[in-house]
Amino acid sequence: MSLQPKLFAVVMLPLVRLFLNIWDGKAHISVCRSLLCLVEVDAAREVAVATLDGRAYFFISNLLKSMGLPFRSLTPYEPLDKNVKVVISTRKERAHIPFESVLCLEDLDSELAVAKILHMLKKPSGDDVYVIGIDPGVRIGISAFYLGEEVYKCVVYSPAKALSIVSKLLKGTPAKRKVVRVGDGNIDIALKLVKGILDEFGRQIQVEIVDEAGTTSLVKSKPNKRSVKDLRSARLIALRQGREVTSSILESYGK
């Protein structure tokens, strides 16, 4: 008879720890440590995928794997383990899940899916900041960070497309505070992006211009692929403090 994961974790975890303390012999200790690892990984699964829809399961499971998040696979009718913090399902099956923190696949836009999952999983209470870094140029790299994780990245080829994506990210993020950092490597495109963001959002968004000195040299030794370099530069810009855009800063650039 197989034990349910919850019962297995409750019963086996103390026993395995006990065996580690009292057993002699490297083989015994190795086996016990392996069992302990399996139990602790199972207990750490805070996300559950609850759906009978094959396509939905395929998409959700691949998304969670790309995030490095372990998860439990359930039907919408199965009871949830106490460790589960977030359930991902479909709108059609939502009514069968008696749990508050449920995300539906239909609400997980590709650009915002990771941020929404992290927000519900971590439930931030402090300085909840969503940061977008932009590397302007012929190719425009965009990288977004939330709760210490890169939650979105892309490379586009026009300021208009970049503004469209940034607008969607800023409108859809659950973060309380939003910061956009634009590199100064191509100042004409940078200022065009800054103006577009300020025209749409005004002072609701903190916009900064970041000195790009050193961001290119830091990626010179990396793979010689232009889009990869643009993304790495965008990441470095996102993580570097810039100067908040004011009228005087815009005047200093002659704009």
Please say which residue of 81, 101, 122 terminates a domain. Answer: 122
Could you list the residue range(s) of the whole structural domain that residue 212 is in? 129-252
Task: Tell me the C-alpha to C-alpha distance, in Å, between residue 226 and each of 6, 158, 223, 232, 246.
Answer: 48, 16, 9, 10, 32
According to the model, what pLDDT value does residue 136 have?
Answer: 95
Q: Which 3-state string (H, E, C) describes the chain?
A: CCCCHHHHHHHHHHHHHHHHHHCCCHHHHHHHHHHHHHHHHHHCCCEEEECCCHHHHHHHHHHHHHHCCCEEEECCCCCCCCCCCEEEECHHHHCCCCCCCEEEHHHCCCCCHHHHHHHHHHCCCCCCEEEEEEECCCCEEEEEEECCEEEEEEEECCHHHHHHHHHHHHHHCCCCEEEEEEECCCHHHHHHHHHHHHHHHHHHCEEEEECCCCCCHHHCCCCCCHHHHHHHHHHHHHCCCCEECCHHHHHHCCC
225 vs 243 pLDDT, higher one: 243
Do 163 and 240 fall into the same domain? yes
In this structure, the answer to whether residues 37 and 114 fall within a common structural domain is yes
Which distant-in-sequence residues (6+ apart) come within 8 Å of 2 by Cβ?
Answer: none
User: Do 73 and 178 fall within a single domain?
Assistant: no
Note the pLDDT tens digit of each residue in 1-59. Answer: 444 544 444 444 444 444 444 444 444 444 444 443 443 344 457 899 999 999 999 99
Same domain, 171 and 245: yes
Both 133 and 118 in one domain: the answer is no
**Are 149 and 101 in the same domain?**
no
- Could you tell me if 156 and 218 lie in one domain? yes
Whether the per-residue pLDDT at 169 is higher than 90: the answer is: yes
> Over the stretch 158-167, which tens digit does the pLDDT of each residue have?
999 999 999 9
Mean pLDDT of the residues in the chain: 81
Q: Is the pTM of this model over 0.75?
A: no
Range from 16-25, 32-41, 211-220, 225-234 that averages highest in pLDDT: 225-234
Q: Per residue in 172-188, pLDDT tens?
A: 888 889 999 999 999 99
Give how many domains the chain has, as a whole number. Answer: 2
CATH number, domain containing residue 212: 3.30.420.140
- What tens digit of pLDDT does each residue of 73-94 get? 999 999 988 889 999 999 999 9
Q: What is the pLDDT of residues 123-132, one digit of tens each?
A: 776 678 999 9
Same domain for 98 and 145, yes or no, is no
Over range 216-241, report the average pLDDT: 77
